[in-house]
Amino acid sequence: MSVLVKIKQDLNKVKKIDLKKLEEYGILGNLYLGLSDEACCFERYKWDNDIRNKILVLFDRDLFGRGMLLLLDNDYNIELVLNYPTTQVDIDNFYRFIKDICDKFKFKKIIEDNIEYDIKDIDKLKNGVTRANQINIKNNIEAGLTIFGCINPITLDNEFIKEIDKLSATQAVQYFGSYLERKQRKMYYFAKPLLFKKDNGKLYSRYALTENATSIFPLNPYLPFGYNQKLIKDIEDWNVVVFKENNDDYLLVGEVPFTYFKKIINIKKLIKYDYKHILVTVDKKIILKVENYNIKKAKKELIAWLKGNNYKPLQVVFTNKFYDENNEICYIFKYKNNLFTSWYLGIVNKLGSYGNIKEYKKETEVEDAKDILNLLKEGKDKNE
């Protein structure tokens, strides 16, 4: 449910509204201003003065609730949206913002939900929305309902509903506000799927997590509200990609299936965030398990390549890894076909697997592996 307010300009005397004017006139007041991404998560605004044709999110600096949406069209007509259930602070800010913008730009009329009102009716409209919001929070919400907060979506859990049931209507609104504030104030990273197309036209999805950054992570994979929900039928794989800290940068640790990642993070010991999310912090233990998974996977790929090229490896041993100029991991192995032959060098990289060119030498394994990798890249360039 929502309240939509429109303020239309007189085409004969259009009043230009930009970020500078909003700040100069004090209309923003105690509000943060930003954008919402495809997963309905907050993004900082880059402070372009022309704010037309951008769906802006405005919310209170002292209470992270739901905020409001602001849209200016090419002719500086204004649309303001207040979604509810919401907080009382958001309702107050919404109608205060309307009052201020009407006052500073000398607008006399507003249109709320397709009905025209005089600006003197703003307090009456605010009181009506306040009552409707109280009823909505008290009677019309349930566990599993997703609230699009000013920072990230929050799916109401059973514990929240139980608390609301104990409170009066006014208390319920206050509790709702404190609940949204508590959930969003730390501004955790909201893990959202990144979609990529396969060669067969199908899709695969990746959740990207970084070392030591606490993330709001789904118990089960899904496409957030802002995504095209029809795409879900084309997603063949749901994976998790992990990055580790490297000075001021991050390096790829590896990629694992979503189901495997759930096993290694031990969900039962993690903090619940809401109805369908937990809080996950990638640490050294998780990194090691992801690394081991990818080493085993690379070993299987090398063995398959060797067998496909009529080699029958007796032993295959992981020895090292390095990152190429694109920060892609290259795994180094040594292998032998029988007890009496020398060890040979094999590598596995994003481009594929390769071996049987050089004998394995510990002291030059990385340099030799880079030579083989360059051969792989040259072959790929020729094929393209």
The tens digit of pLDDT for each residue in 310-329 reads 888 889 999 999 998 888 89
Q: Is a pLDDT exceeding 70 seen at residue 115? A: yes
Angle at 268 between CA 262 and CA 273, to 5 degrees: 85
Distance CA 50, CA 91 (A): 26
**Helices 158-166, 169-184: crossing angle, 10 deg rounding:** 150
Per-residue pLDDT tens for 130-155?
999 999 999 999 999 999 999 999 99
Give the range among 88-97, 244-253, 342-351, 371-380 with minimum mean pLDDT: 371-380
Identify the weakest region by mean pLDDT among 97-106, 164-173, 315-324, 331-340. Answer: 331-340
d(CA 24, CA 56): 18
With vertex at residue 365, the alpha carbon angle to CA 363 and CA 368, rounded to the nearest 5 degrees, is: 120
Classify residue 100 as exposed, middle or buried by CB count within 10 Å of its CB (0-12, 13-18, 19+). middle
DSSP string, 243-257: EEEETTEEEEEEEEE
Q: Across residues 105-112, what is the average pLDDT?
A: 94
Q: What is the DSSP letter of 86?
A: -
Tokens standing for 353?
């697997």
Q: pTM for the complete prediction?
A: 0.89
Task: Return the closest-CA partner of residue 312 out of 286, 338, 340.
Answer: 338
What is the mean pLDDT of the segment spanning 147-166? 96
pLDDT above 90 covers a percentage of the chain that reads: 83
pLDDT score for 340: 80
pLDDT tens-digit readout, 37-59: 999 999 998 878 999 999 999 99
Q: Across residues 251-258, what is the average pLDDT?
A: 95
DSSP-assigned states of every residue in 194-212: EEEE-TTS-EEEEEEEEBT
| Residues pairing with 257 in the sheet | 239
What pLDDT is stored for residue 384 in this prediction? 52
Q: Please give the C-alpha separations between residue 264 and each of 257, 270, 292, in angstroms, as whole numbers.
A: 11, 12, 12
- Token pair 């730009």 in the structure block, residue: 105
Q: Give the residue-averaged pLDDT of 246-268.
A: 91
pLDDT in tens, 77-88: 999 999 999 999
The 10 Å CB-count burial string (b at 16+, else e) for 204-225 is: bbbbbbbbeebbbbbeebebbe
Instruction: Give the mean pLDDT of the chain.
Output: 93
Q: For residue 316, how far is the Cα from the chain centroid?
A: 39
Q: What is the Cα–Cα distance from 77 to 17, expressed in whole angstroms?
A: 9
Token pair in block for residue 95 = 């109608």
The reply to whether omega before 224 is within 30° of 0 (cis) is no
Residues pairing with 239 in the sheet: 206, 257
Q: Is the dihedral of CA 249, 252, 256, 261 positive or negative?
A: negative
Ramachandran category for residue 352: left, alpha or beta (phi over 0 → left; psi -120 to 50 → alpha): left
Query: Considering only CA atoms, which of 217, 209, 211, 328 is closest in space to residue 277?
Result: 217
C-beta atoms surrounding 347 within 10 Å: 27
Instruction: Please list the residues that pair with 146 across neighbouring strands.
Output: 155
The residues spanned by each domain of the chain are 2-132, 189-282, 295-383
Q: Using an 8 Å Cβ cutoff, are 122 and 110 in contact?
A: yes
- Hey, CA dihedral for 184, 186, 189, 191, is it positive or negative? negative
pLDDT of residue 77: 96
Q: Identify the band that residue 18 occupies on the pLDDT scale cut at 50, 70 and 90.
A: very high
Q: Is the dihedral of CA 303, 348, 195, 152 positive or negative?
A: positive
